[in-house]
Amino acid sequence: IDKQAHMLDAERMLWEVYNLDQALKVALEFAEKTNSDGNPTNDTLVILTADHETGGLVLPGVTDPSRMGTRDQVGTYDRMGFPEAADANGDGYPDNPDPEKKLVIHFGGAPDHFDDFRSQPRPVAPAKAGDDRKVHANPEKDGQTGVLYTGVSEVTVPEHGYAPDRGVHTGVDVPLLALGPGSERLTGVRDNTEIFFAILQALAPKP
């Protein structure tokens, strides 16, 4: 998920979330068995969270196929309409990850980049460093069909370190979901350090 968000690749990012959801299903099924077998020594605490958010995701509207490639390619308010999300097999996920009308995922924590909000045949870096040691939007990613969006990342390549040519980690809160013994300590908004102590208490509960 993080890797695709760095590339500002919303479609691949969402399908990584789908894969995570399938993995979580396995963990929850395992926990259901161990937590209901009457043996408290093998109970399972499942925790789902992340160490940071990447990209600064926002959902501004829905793509307008008639205006793609223009500044008005994202419909908002009364021009938004509804995204197309057919689910013929009933698994709760869209059959086509790239419909004509889809909910737009825009990345706020990003460098200058082009975007037409369409699925890419392969991941492409959103920006790249030039000979002038400046980071520029990469025309190979939607440069012919998309619109240039100004980013917030640094534009100068530092003397040491990497070029700021990807989506960046942000301070956005991340989800924290828990199920099983000790999960009551992980409700609401929590400081990340509290997760450690919740796990410690679950492993060695005080009498």
The structural domains of the chain, with segments of one domain joined by +, span: 2-59+105-203
Predicted TM-score (pTM) of the model is 0.88
Q: How far apart are CA 33 and CA 137, in angstroms?
A: 51
Determine if residue 136 is labeled as part of a ligand binding site: no
Task: Tell me the per-residue pLDDT of 111-153, one tens digit each, with 9 for 90 and over.
Answer: 999 999 998 889 999 999 999 999 999 999 999 999 999 999 8
Query: Residue 207's pLDDT is what?
Result: 58
Query: Residue 100's pLDDT is what?
Result: 87
Task: Tell me the per-residue pLDDT of 97-112, one tens digit each, with 9 for 90 and over.
Answer: 788 899 999 999 999 9
The HSE-up count of residue 204 (CA atoms within 13 Å, CB side) is 3
Helix/strand/coil (H/E/C) assignment for every residue in the chain: CHHHHHCCCHHHHHHHHHHHHHHHHHHHHHHHHHCCCCCHHHCCCEEECCCCEECCEECCCEECHHHCCCCCCEECHHHCCCCCCCCCCCCCCCCCCCCCCCECCEECCCCCEEECCCCCCCCCCCEEECCCCEEEECCCCCCCCCEEECCCCCCECCCCCCCCCCCCEECCCCCCEEECCCHHHHCCCCCCHHHHHHHHHHHCCCC
Q: How far apart are CA 194 and CA 180, in angstroms?
A: 16
Determine if residue 173 is labeled as part of a ligand binding site: no
- Cα angle value 184/189/34 (rounded, 5°): 30
Contacts of 187 (CB under 8 A, 6+ apart): 178
Q: Are 81 and 99 a contacting pair, CB within 8 Å?
A: no
Determine if residue 51 is labeled as part of a ligand binding site: yes
* Amino acid occupying residue 108: G
Q: How far apart are CA 93 and CA 18, in angstroms?
A: 8
Q: Count of CB atoms within 10 A of residue 21's CB? A: 12
Determine if residue 112 is labeled as part of a ligand binding site: no
**pLDDT by 10-residue block (mean), the chain, 207 residues:** 96 92 96 94 95 95 89 90 88 82 93 93 93 94 93 89 91 96 94 94 79
